[in-house]
Structure 1
């Protein structure tokens, strides 16, 4: 199994538009494990398109409970179950993840019960273990170590950057965050830093297209990172490759790769990847 990061959903925010990318989700293969990270709309199809069987689902990590990161968590687990999942899956998420999962099970109670009775399937609830985590060590098993750092994503307080170390490689994910200097230490020397990024020139277009977010501008600037600041942080951390993901905007034809690269040119001179749905990054 190659050390590889699949960017399954690359846009910031919950809205989807014709021909545009999906919200945030990733598949990380490292230290012999397959790890789904965040579960925005489209994650199930995205995982399948990488060639992975849903019956191989192993570990899931959720960075925070905004809908564009969890809306398809239940759908992923349920579809894996109907595909033939028969081994336990562990889901790591912040406080509230267990309540989210219980709510999903309640909403699909009729379907789950009838499939158990009619098709002889194992109990879905018994296959899924929810582990709620906070800042600090999260997971250690068979050479894979995962640690979490609380980041600045108001008004959400339980939002965590994640560091995955295994097989001599390190991958760090910023999660959703305003510019947060402590991330540089957390990501120091990483093979890959995946950091969210926003272009200020695109913010007004997003607000105009959305229409029903009276305080959306204030939220975006208080809770997200400008692309140039992501580049500064990557330079300070001396990471090997910077991946811009959770792009704001990601589905505006007025902006393309050149705009992101121009924003980072003064502050980052290393390998740079601009996320697109389905893109695979080897490291």
Structure 2
């Protein structure tokens, strides 16, 4: 298995539009493990398009419980189950993740019970382990280590950046966050930093399309990072590559990759990738 990062969904926010990208999800192949990071709408299809059989699913990390990061957690596991999943899936998420899963099971109880009785499938409830985590080291297996850092994403308290180390590589995922200086120390020396990003000039079009005006703008500015902020974190951390992800806006044709590159140029001169759905990056 080649060590690589695949961006499955690169859009910030839960809305989807014709021809546009999907909300947040990623697949990291590292140290012999296939690690799903966040489960926004479209994650199941995105994984299949990489060539992964969903019945191989076994390790998932959720950064926080906004819908664009967790909406398809239950459907992903259920779809894997209908594909032939017969082993335990470990899901690591912040406080409340267990409620998301048990609520999903309750909502699909008729279908699950019918398939168990009619198709001879194992009990889906017995195939999932939920581990609710906080700051610090949250996973270790062989040389694979996952650490969590609480970031600043009001009004969400339990939102965590993740640092995943293995096979002599280190990747850091910012999750959703306002500019957060401690993230630079957390990401120090990372080979890849995947950081959320907004374009200031793109906020007006988002507000117009979404329709809740001043309140939405207030949330975006208070809870997220502009591309220039991500670039400054990357420079302070001395990372090998900056990947802009969870893009806001991600589906406005008025803004191109050139706009994103211009937004970081004053603060970051290293390798830069602008996220797009399906993009695969080798962990070299």
TM-score normalized with structure 2 length: 0.99
Which residue is equivalent to 2:234?
234
Question: Any residues of structure 2 matched to 1:192-231 within 5 Å, and which?
Answer: 192-212=192-212, 214-231=214-231
Q: Tell me whether 1:38 sits opposite 2:19 in the alignment.
A: no
Deviating more after overlay: 264-273 vs 213-222: 213-222
CA distance, structure 2, for counterparts of residue 94 and residue 140 of structure 1: 17
1:100-127 CA distance string (max 9 Å, x none): 1000000000000000000000000000
Which residue is equivalent to 2:126?
126
User: How far 1:3 sits from its partner (Å)?
Assistant: 1.3
In structure 1, the gaps of 5 or more residues are: none
Which residue is equivalent to 1:75?
75
1:219-259 CA distance string (max 9 Å, x none): 00000001011001101100001000000000000001000
Which residue is equivalent to 2:117?
117
Which residue is equivalent to 1:11?
11
Q: Tell me whether 1:157 sits opposite 2:178 in the alignment.
A: no
1:151-193 CA distance string (max 9 Å, x none): 0000000000000000100010000000000000000000100
Which residue is equivalent to 1:135?
135
Q: Tell me whether 1:264 sits opposite 2:264 in the alignment.
A: yes
CA distance, structure 2, for counterparts of residue 256 and residue 129 of structure 1: 41
Q: Tell me whether 1:85 sits opposite 2:82 in the alignment.
A: no
CA distance, structure 1, for counterparts of residue 31 and residue 171 of structure 2: 11
Divergent runs of 4+, >2 A: none
CA distance, structure 2, for counterparts of residue 281 and residue 186 of structure 1: 22
CA distance, structure 2, for counterparts of residue 252 and residue 85 of structure 1: 38
Which residue is equivalent to 1:147?
147
CA distance, structure 2, for counterparts of residue 12 and residue 252 of structure 1: 12
**Change over 3 Å in CA distance of 1:232–1:214 after alignment to 2:** closer
**Is the partner of 1:193 in helix, strand or coil?**
strand
Which residue is equivalent to 1:53?
53
User: How far 1:213 sits from its partner (Å)?
Assistant: 5.3
**Is the partner of 1:37 in helix, strand or coil?**
strand
Size of the aligned set, in residue pairs, is 283
CA distance, structure 2, for counterparts of residue 2 and residue 267 of structure 1: 32
In structure 2, the gaps of 5 or more residues are: none
Which residue is equivalent to 1:65?
65
